[in-house]
Amino acid sequence: MLRRYDARSMATLISTGGVIPLPVISVLAPETLYPGGMPILLTIWSFIAVVFAVTAIRARLTDLEFAFLGGLGIVGICGTSMILASPRSSTLVLAIVAVIPAIGAISATTRLILSHLALAIVCAAVVLAVTTESLPAYLISFGAMLGLIVVPVFLVVALRKSMEAVLDQQTRLVGIDPLTGLLNRRGFLIRASQLLSAARSSTGWIGILLLDVDHFKRINDQYGHLAGDGVLLAASAAIREHAPVGSEVCRYGGEEFLMFHVVHDADELWLSAERLRAAVAAAAPVTISVGGVCAPLRVAGDHLVSGHFETAFSTDDVIGNLLGQADDCVYQAKENGRDTTVIKSIDEVIWNDGAPSAHAADAERTVSPPSASLYEVFYRRPADFVDIDSRTSGR
């Protein structure tokens, strides 16, 4: 049940819940209030009880709701402090006013935080002006209360900013391959929609290259994985340096790299592939086999002919289809003797840019399972391994 409440709502319930028993205590011990203070206490208690009840029912408050209810809470706490007969009790109750701005700092906007902070400081200043007996006592009490109100807010905001910075950094790093510094598969898939949009607004053609290091397993077996990592670093640096301007390069997995490129036709993609193949051969003690596929891209609904039915594909399906066919071309390049390039053109791809993408949601820190088409390309099922092993043995 408690999972219904976020941190802000739970803190609001705790801070206001402590005031709920006050009328009972005041009835049992009327000397705790100034004479005639009970009606005022009941009025204030009613406001605070409303804050508690609404928060308990709503579970998660919007910023607007918290702004209103938090403001009522601040005024109610300060009012309660003013009618308590004991100066010590009055000061202790007034200190609770620092809780509400600190609660708001957990997730509220800067404007809301500053509003509650200002209200709490003004109300505390008024209460202390009424309850203290001299100017020196007022200045000392107000200085202490100012620190009590401001410091927790500052600490919560600083912690919040620090956590946001760490989360942003982790979000970026989770899409980066730690060895090569290139995008990894996840990072590429998160950016896929942006890349397709760029192709649509440019030439309208998309091209994908898969570049597979030849005999990489033999290198690992003979010279060790450290040498294999060195080969991958040299190959990735050459690919990054000689990739066309505007292209996106990622480490597809293992010894395989991927390049997404906006092209005009298959010839342009083939020239890019040959340039990369030569660059790797010159920079590293290995060769690569390159497979690529290109296709014209059209967004669903663009230039639609009346009465013509078309099948549009999501971002995941478009990329998954291209990768699957590029992988076939890599296999063909291996069959042709390695250290060669195989490129093919396919029919027009119709993209539904409004379809939800399982991977684009990662950019908003939401983990979603990959779609079936990409699952088949990136995360092969055990039943697929026999076929894959028969095709890729000796790569």
Residues whose CB is less than 8 angstroms from the CB of residue 217 and which lie 6 or more positions away in sequence, other chains included = 394, 395
Mean pLDDT of 181-192: 88
Q: What is the DSSP letter of 293?
A: E
pLDDT tens column, 336-375:
999 999 999 999 888 887 665 655 555 554 433 333 333 3
Chain-centre distance of CA 246, in angstroms? Answer: 25
Q: Which residues pair with 189 in a beta bridge?
A: none
Residue 89: what pLDDT? Answer: 82
Q: Cite the DSSP H helix spans in the chain.
A: 7-17, 22-28, 38-58, 63-83, 87-95, 99-104, 110-131, 135-173, 185-201, 216-223, 225-242, 266-283, 315-335, 372-378, 385-392
Pairing verdict, β 256-263 and 288-299: unpaired
- 77, 19 Cβ separation under 8 angstroms: yes
Of the two residues 79 and 275, the one the predictor is more confident about is: 275
Residue 191: what pLDDT? Answer: 84
* Cα–Cα dist 248/260, whole Å: 5
Highest mean pLDDT among 74-83, 359-368, 386-395: 74-83
Identify the structural domains of the chain with CATH numbers, from first to last: 2-173 (no CATH), 185-392 (3.30.70.270)
Short-list 343, 349, 345, CA closest to 373: 349
- Sign of the torsion formed by the C-alpha atoms of 155, 76, 112 and 52: positive
Cβ atoms within 10 Å of 110's Cβ, excluding its own = 9
* Cα–Cα dist 351/359, whole Å: 16
Pairing verdict, β 205-213 and 349-351: unpaired
Structure tokens at 305: 């002919």
Helices and strands of the chain, counted as H and E runs: 15, 6
Q: How many residues does the chain have?
A: 395
The percentage of the chain sitting over the pLDDT mark of 70, rounded to a whole number, equals 85
Residue 8: what pLDDT? Answer: 78
DSSP string, 91-144: HHHHHGGGHHHHHHTTTS-HHHHHHHHHHHHHHHHHHHHHH-SSHHHHHHHHHH
Of the two residues 308 and 295, the one the predictor is more confident about is: 295
Q: What is the DSSP letter of 212?
A: E
Strands (E), 75-186: none
Residues whose CB is less than 8 angstroms from the CB of residue 99 and which lie 6 or more positions away in sequence, other chains included = 11, 15, 152
